[in-house]
Structure 1
């Protein structure tokens, strides 16, 4: 696996053991990044991905922890910096979703979504803001449902609205640091998070929405993420970018 120099850029991908996160890890590794593969519950999947990358000649390390736990995340960031000498890119894909009409949603589910998606983003962004080197990038994850306003997504969309707001504020707070902060907002994407609990009719209906008439793939999302993380994408800053095949 090629590297761009003797001291390649270093990335940490939260939620890197599955779904979009795994595709991002693979994409950054192909670009020569040393990658911290973060996991919350699936250590085996993270270690398997690390093994895949190292077997191809790349560099990677698995780091665990609850994204909403500031001590666990500080330790994860410490581990990546200790392994690779610094940090240039943080991609925060970790998140959860609970679907239910607002009138019916259990408040425990609401609290769980906001603990992971809002507090978790704040904790990860705080660590990134303190550590990213000049020329670096932070990429958060929102959702294109922000524009679709689909029923049953209230708690999830509310949490991602907070993510978009944090992204825009942090981009401006990091003035003078030469660090970009952006959010990617995928549309319907064939990941376990999206497919879980949906029947085939629902999946087919959502896949037909984009003018391109298919679901996105994790690799589609990883391409945009890799661009934003790279020097080539460094003039893009303080943006929420919908990556959805043209739905909204």
Structure 2
């Protein structure tokens, strides 16, 4: 057993950490233990999960191997009575409580029309009710500490409306932030702050709910959040309270600017911005599947465009001198063109809503918007027609070239919408 850091400013303190069986919670708990903090671990996973790595006892073992002291407590954060008993046991075992770290969270970024009430009850129960239960049970003990901190892993209150697409989950995460910042207003002497990473963190939630291995490769390790958490907890709670800060910004305040060691993939520079962080991204958080669908749409639409261009070109030549068919065909094609445009816009809007990345157009991931490309080509054709005097026959042919691809896109979109759905 390696001894805990003997001169760390947090040595001898006590902490209660939720969601400590894996991911960010486990990383924070182990870092606290290594710093000499006595750590109570609270989570549901006491025994190995068939699909998810980590248990409370594995985290406790890692703390003990780092020279720290751990108290694993299996429980459901939605059970307020169980939470209260766990915090009471923590204070009894450690002689008080200095830190309450609200890390546990349930994730589902579905829109309000897609999320079931049962799933909403789960995420609201863990995120909001659980955080409230933890804070309210911890406050009596924290008020007795001379270095008390509430720390919640939740985002700054970003009011960019794009983030409201995943409204139910967003409401619960923002609720965690508001409760914590509210404590900063009503609990003098207790530092109440929130931490949130700029990039995605390599956790089971990112792997299974957001983007799989490609996103994990563009993420940072949980240790970056753990290091930032220790920095917050070491600050004077009277001077540092009421903040919702990004992890990387806080580390920069601490003089830590070289973040290369936190990359999951050594040398990675193209990181995936986390949700609620307005940074440009090349892929959408709705997952790799959306990206692949868009690539497929582009490939198929290019193929259809070439086919339709060829067919319409031939028809334009065959009917160049036959004006009797042109007027009714033109009148019939206009609604179809409008329908195709609206269908395409509907698909694009649906993809963008599902992406949950404000400021990022997921269609940009596959190159130029096909409709804009056709419009640009038409403008070029118009310029050629002006220069060469093609006349009405050439104009009619180009009308077919312009509107028939739109109809092809409409047919493609009808299938594509179901794929994205």
TM-score range relative to shorter protein: 0.7 to 0.9
2:69 is equivalent to residue 66 of structure 1: no
Structure of greater Rg: 2
Asked whether 1:163 is paired with 2:189, we answer no
Q: Could you give the per-residue CA deviations for residues 172-221 of structure 1, whole angstroms, max 9, x where no partner exists? A: 1112xx210001123421111122134458727xx7xxxxxx42321111
Query: Alpha carbons of 1:58 and 1:201: their partners in 2 closer, same or farther (altered >3 Å)?
Result: closer
Task: Map residues 128-167 of structure 1 onto 2, 5 A cutoff.
Answer: 128-132=138-142, 133-143=145-155, 146=158, 149-150=162-163, 153-167=166-180
Report how far residue 28 of structure 1 moved: 0.8
Partner of 1:238: 242
1:98 to 2:102 alignment: no
What's the TM-score once normalised by structure 2's chain length?
0.52
Tell me if 1:34 matches 2:45: no
Cα shift at 1:142: 1.0
Cα distance in 2 for residues equivalent to 1:55 and 1:200? 31
Instruction: Name structure 1 gaps, 5 residues minimum.
Output: 208-213
CA displacement at 1:56 relative to structure 2: 3.4
- CA distance in 2 between counterparts of 1:90 and 1:107 reads 29
Counterparts of 1:47-66 in structure 2 under 5 Å? 47-66=57-76
* 2:87 corresponds to: 77
The answer to whether the 8 A contact 2:201-2:220 is kept is yes
Counterpart position of 1:216: 220
**1:125-147 Cα shifts (integer Å, max 9, x gaps):** 11121211121101012136946
Q: Give yes or no for contact 1:144–1:243 (8 Å, CA) kept in 2.
A: no
Between 47-56 and 219-228, the greater mean CA deviation after superposition: 47-56
Residue 118 of structure 1 pairs with residue 128 of structure 2: yes
Q: Which runs of 4+ in 1 moved over 4 A?
A: 144-148, 199-202, 244-247
Q: In structure 2, what is the equivalent of residue 24 of structure 1? A: 28
Higher share of residues assigned helix: 2
Which one has more relative contact order, counting CA pairs under 8 Å at least 6 apart? 1
The structure carrying a bigger strand percent of its residues is: 1
TM-score by length of 1: 0.85
Structure 2 gap ranges (5+): 49-54, 250-272, 279-421
The CA RMSD measured in Å over matched residues stands at: 2.6
Secondary structure at the counterpart of residue 127 of structure 2: helix
- 2:203 pairs, out of 184, 191, 216, with 191
Helix, strand or coil for the counterpart of 1:195? helix
